[in-house]
Amino acid sequence: MKHWQLLLIAASLASLAACSSKPVGGDEYQRTRYQQKHDSIPNRLPAQHELQEPAPQIVPKSRGGNKDYVVFGKAYQVLPSADDYVKVGMASWYGKKFHGHKTSNGEIYDMYGFSAAHKTLPIPTYARVTNLANNKSVIVRINDRGPFHHNRIIDLSYSAAFKLDMLNQGTAKVKVEAITASNIAQFTSNADSEEMLASRPTPLAPVEKEQTVSMLNKYIHVLVTREKALAENTAKGLKFLLQVPVNLTEKDALYRVQLGPIGDNSDVDSLLANLHQQGYPEAYPTAVLK
């Protein structure tokens, strides 16, 4: 049996109890919202292009997901700011049950993206999560609420958990560091690292660091949905409105709309501002086309 098959079998046994439960109400609500009653492991490992972490950004709070709330009788207060947030605790991850369903701010959960759920950090917040057992780190974008287990502080997407090498155990002790305006420089200084450059399909000629970062942030993720018609209409409308390349792709029953490739970061910033004004406040830059 191949190594990756053994990994999937071991991970499924270790992590089914570790994947978080969401604030979905009673059993009847679970049956109507999700196809599965319990979470399960995906049937494949992340592909190479699905292991590209997002570039940290400082973005406004989303319209949804930032109000105080109550789950299972416990009240949670959303932090007014992510400044100075650093915490050590247990991380878990969530998979197929929630894939393709809405997160707390209305986005669609993609288990092969780099996202996370947190109880109280503002949405969206970018954060670095470090597995303290092996010192591996990932950048994630928090767009959901959870995990609602008393001893866990963050719930990671499948790809993020895979890159942290925590699938076999299902949970891991981690350090979570929120990325804010005051510290973002320390998290972006390695944007042209060998790992990121190696993920590109063609080699880069030697360039200045500032130019390399600009070249890496050459796409903008706009939308992911299970509705084909919505994705098609969005892609057509943006192509007409913005006069830029628009990519519509489908994978794992999810349709994605992304802009790009885009020339440089000044164009990215301009397009992001335009998209936010056009009703896409959750649009964000990404280094790869998914």
- DSSP run (H or E) holding 284: strand 284-286
Six-digit token string for 224: 């992911």
- pTM metric for this prediction: 0.63
Task: Give the Cα separation of 24 and 230 in Å (integer).
Answer: 25
Residue 38 CB neighbour total at 10 angstroms = 12
Per-residue pLDDT in tens (0 to 9) along the chain, 290 residues: 555 444 444 444 444 444 444 543 333 333 345 554 445 466 678 888 888 898 898 888 998 899 999 998 999 999 999 999 999 999 999 876 677 778 998 888 888 899 999 999 999 999 999 999 999 999 999 999 999 888 899 999 999 999 999 988 889 999 999 999 999 998 875 444 434 333 333 333 333 333 333 345 588 888 888 788 888 888 888 887 788 889 999 887 788 899 988 877 678 888 888 887 777 777 888 777 77
CA distances from 273 to 30, 189, 224, 242 (A): 37, 24, 19, 12
Task: Give the Cα separation of 127 and 130 in Å (integer).
Answer: 10
What domains can you pick out in the chain, each with its CATH number?
Answer: 3-185 (2.40.40.10), 190-286 (3.30.70.1070)
Q: What local confidence, expressed as pLDDT, does residue 243 receive?
A: 82
Exposure string over 203-221, b if 16+ CB within 10 A, otherwise e: eeeeeeeeebbbbbbbbbb
Query: Dihedrals φ, ψ of 233, to 5°?
Result: -65, -40
Task: Give the Cα separation of 201 and 49 in Å (integer).
Answer: 10
Six-digit token string for 33: 């919202």
Determine the 3-state secondary structure of 249 from DSSP: strand
Q: What local confidence, expressed as pLDDT, does residue 268 receive?
A: 83
DSSP string, 65-133: S-S-EEETTEEE---S--TT-EEEEEEEE--TTTTTSB-TTSPBP-TTS-EEE-SSS-SSEEEEEEETT
CA distances from 40 to 48, 60, 85, 254 (A): 22, 33, 31, 18
Q: Return the residue matching tokens 């190696």.
A: 198
Six-digit token string for 199: 């993920």
Show Cβ contacts of residue 139 under 8 Å, excluding neighbours closer than 6 positions.
53, 54, 55, 56, 114, 126, 127, 128, 129, 179, 187
